Structure 1
Amino acid sequence: MNSKKTMERGRRRAPRGSDAPTVVLKDDLHVVDLGAGVMLDVFINVEGRLTTFVSLDGQLIAELRVAGHA
């Protein structure tokens, strides 16, 4: 009969996709850190419209606006 060794395993890092985003709420500005240098800045502009900026490593790559009113 073969004996089996029990191996102790250290704590494993969770898969990348399961990390929850970091959210910072300040007044009307909501910043979401999605990891890997990707950030979403979400706010309601002076016209009352929802606006989102997408940045990668601090550089703006897109601006998204939602038509309509808040």
Structure 2
Amino acid sequence: MSLEFHEIEIGKLPLAAPQMNAPEAYIQLVPGAINADGEVSDDELEWLLRDFMAEFATFVERVLTVLPQPGN
């Protein structure tokens, strides 16, 4: 198998792939922020996690709308 490298004109690529603006979150957990039952006890952390997951869910929905569906 051989590999060939070609120059690609980026402006001519049909890139319609959705991308998440901020796909990562860095969280420093402090003792007591999440209890043994997995519940978030810190209000600010709970808001951050809920907001991030809501944005991620929106992103996944967008991706699923552009992917070819099975059988099509």
Q: Same fold (TM over 0.5)?
A: no
Which is strand-richer, 1 or 2?
1
Relative contact order, CA 8 A, sep 6+: which one is greater? 2
User: Taking structure 1 as the reference length, what is the TM-score of the superposition?
Assistant: 0.24
Which is helix-richer, 1 or 2?
2
